[in-house]
Amino acid sequence: MPEWAVILSICGLYLVLVLGLGVWSGRTVSASVDGYVAGDRTLGVIVLYFVLGASVFSSFAFLGAPGWAYSRGAAAFYIIAYGTVGMVPFYFLGPRARQVGEAFGFVTQAEMLAHRYDSRTLSVVLAALSVVAFVPYLTLQMKGAGLLLSTISDGVVPQWLGALAAYGVVLVYVFASGMMAIGWTNTVQGLFMMAVAWFLGLYLPETLHGGIQPMFEAIAASDKAAMLDVPGLAADGSPWSWAGYSSAVIVSAVGFSMWPHLFMRAFTAKSDRTLKLTVVLYPTFQLFLVPILLIGFAGVLAFPGVAPPDTIVPHLLTQIELSPVLVGLVCAGALAASMSSGDAILHAAASIGLRDGIKPLLAAPMTDTRQRQWIRGLVVATSATAYYFAVFSEVGIVALLLGAYGGVAQIFPLVFAAFYWPRATGAGALAGLLAGIGVNTLFLVAPHLRPFPLHEGVYGLAANIAVFLTVSLLTPPHDRDRLRAYTHSDRLAADETVAS
């Protein structure tokens, strides 16, 4: 059997395993929206840990992050830096969200905010923002999977087929089992990708340079030494500015816990304690970014000139002498990274699209069964859209995704104020969010207009907070009954009416 056939067989086995696990896992939850979207609010620490970890570390972790280290050097430290404090707000906000979610039956972030701020418009705006962020995100995951399988098979499996195979599996298990499939597959995928990352991150520097320190010393002694000068290089190869690095860390840290597919996992936790413990343990997951970056650094001197830099990992795998079985396992690990984010995003996009985008616009209430049918329909439609962009379209997806990061950070003031600032009003929230997104988008498309070379999200946040504060104080506050659940969690009465 030729090497690529061994590698592909292992990837194929992995896909079959994940498919089986995903479909099987759905049998324990109720056939309801709560079951499909929030896993009946029963998730424990281990599953939740991997769901939060794997949802965030996507194919970007296996392809993009080593690509950053490979081409931009110390700039890649930014990826570890923002995660250091990025998850901390979730320790406080997550349990509060979980409590009101349980009391009122919320399963998405926008549902909660729309209730707190008494605004359907807000829900629709948040749904639109989520979908605009999710489709390119999912597209990149599919592209990553396709790229990996085609590089590793020497082109025997074309990119369209690789993406189709991996995401066909994702589509089936998300369609069948919803949240439970994501929980259980992400646990297996997370373990797998962590093992692979640590193996490669320690093995490659050792075999190519004789160790980690010798590797960095060799880079520092070469003509590429400039890349180790913090904050590294910008995308065009010139030194990155401190203002650019610092503001990118801040915006990403603020937005980190606000990603709607991550935030809505608060509603899946079985208790506050579970959710808090998950956040506490989270940094142990993030440590796996260290070997991930080492993989990228290992390629700098050994294989110069790989373009685009995102392909450095598959390139390394085809160049080094490694048994095809190991290469197969590594590829499956990288596929796991892509699919474990892809499934979460797909599931969130469909759930949010229905609950926050379509349902508030309809006059008549929808039955639970009807809602699940709609969500499943949207799962198929979202996959098809992302697949179209991944395979047939040449639209600049990466730019759209970078813009979305600044956009997602704009949700932070709304969530924070929902629990800690009773005076915040719906008009203020909506005006602040729109101002933030507007300013962020303006400086994204016209970067030369920025007064200082800071990340556009910083300007967005400044505008957002200023408008949010001003409009809130100028409009009448919401009545106490609505606010009580948010500001006084201990007063959450069991007889609260369920939000429609």
Partner 1 sequence: MDDQADDIPQGLVVPGLGDESRRAALWAFLVVSVLSGLALVWPVYPLAVDLTPYVFGLPFSFAWTVGWLVVMFVALVLLYRTDAPDPAD
Give residues in contact with partner 1 (CB under 8 A): 74, 77, 80-81, 83-85, 88, 91, 205, 211-213, 215-216, 220, 228-230, 242-243, 245-246, 249-250, 253, 270-274, 276-277, 279-280, 283-284, 286-287, 290, 293, 420-423, 473, 477, 479-480, 483, 487-490
Query: Which CB, 95 or 360, lies closer to partner 1?
Result: 95
CB of residue 261 to partner 1, shortest distance in Å: 22
Query: Which CB, 31 or 280, lies closer to partner 1?
Result: 280
Let me know: does 66 contact 228? Beta carbons within 8 Å: no
Let me know: does 126 contact 356? Beta carbons within 8 Å: yes
Looking from the CA of 97 toward its CB, the CA atoms found within 13 Å total 34
Let me know: does 10 contact 326? Beta carbons within 8 Å: no
CB of residue 155 to partner 1, shortest distance in Å: 36
CB of residue 383 to partner 1, shortest distance in Å: 35
For residues 320, 323, 327, 328, the Cα torsion angle rounded to the nearest 10 degrees is: 160
For residue 233, report the phi and psi dihedrals to the nearest 5 degrees. Answer: -110, 150
Sign of CA dihedral 406, 409, 411, 414: negative
Amino acid type, 9: S
Of 355, 351, 349, 317, the C-alpha closest to 333 is 317
Which helix (H) or strand (E) covers residue 470, if one does?
A: helix 456-474
CB of residue 452 to partner 1, shortest distance in Å: 12
CB of residue 250 to partner 1, shortest distance in Å: 7
Query: Which CB, 155 or 283, lies closer to partner 1?
Result: 283
Residues 6+ apart with CB under 8 A from 271: 98
Query: Which CB, 220 or 446, lies closer to partner 1?
Result: 220
Let me know: does 290 contact 201? Beta carbons within 8 Å: yes
Query: Which CB, 128 or 243, lies closer to partner 1?
Result: 243
CB of residue 451 to partner 1, shortest distance in Å: 17
What separation in angstroms does the CA of 224 have from each of 98, 122, 236, 319? 49, 49, 14, 21
CB of residue 436 to partner 1, shortest distance in Å: 20
Which residues are registered as beta bridge partners of 233?
A: 239
The C-alpha atoms of residue 178 and residue 23 are separated, in whole angstroms, by: 9
Helix axes 120-152, 109-116, angle to 10 degrees: 170
Residues 6+ apart with CB under 8 A from 298: 204, 205, 208, 209, 215, 316
The C-alpha atoms of residue 331 and residue 333 are separated, in whole angstroms, by: 5
Query: Which CB, 245 or 443, lies closer to partner 1?
Result: 245
CB of residue 251 to partner 1, shortest distance in Å: 11
Query: Which CB, 284 or 369, lies closer to partner 1?
Result: 284
Query: Which CB, 388 or 420, lies closer to partner 1?
Result: 420
Query: Which CB, 90 or 167, lies closer to partner 1?
Result: 90
CB of residue 161 to partner 1, shortest distance in Å: 39
The tokens describing 452, both together, are 């200082």
